[in-house]
Amino acid sequence: MSETNNIIHNLFTHRWCGDAVLKNLDTMKEQLFKSLTSQLKGYWSGHTAYHIMVDGGFLVDAKTDEPKVLTERGQQFMINYKNKNNI
């Protein structure tokens, strides 16, 4: 398992509640993609999702009213996710 996949799996397994997301790595990645997309559009994604993104190194922490920015890992994750899923 890649480092990024391992990070995603560990963070979701230890912090997320809900079988629909926790059933496999693909559903975890789907949730991460949705949450990152929401943050970049200026929407709130929820406390747990936000801290998974920040603590996982996908999103730079910022104040509520400030635009959110992806880290290098976050940018690469979004590119890989879009390419794999033809988004």
pLDDT digits (tens, 9 = 90+) for 3-55: 999 999 999 999 999 999 999 999 999 999 999 999 999 999 999 999 999 99
Res. 81: pLDDT tops 80 = yes
pTM for this predicted structure = 0.94
pLDDT digits (tens, 9 = 90+) for 13-23: 999 999 999 99
Q: What gap in Å lies between CA 34 and CA 85, rounded to an integer? A: 13
Domains of the chain by residue range:
3-85
The letter for the amino acid at 69 is V
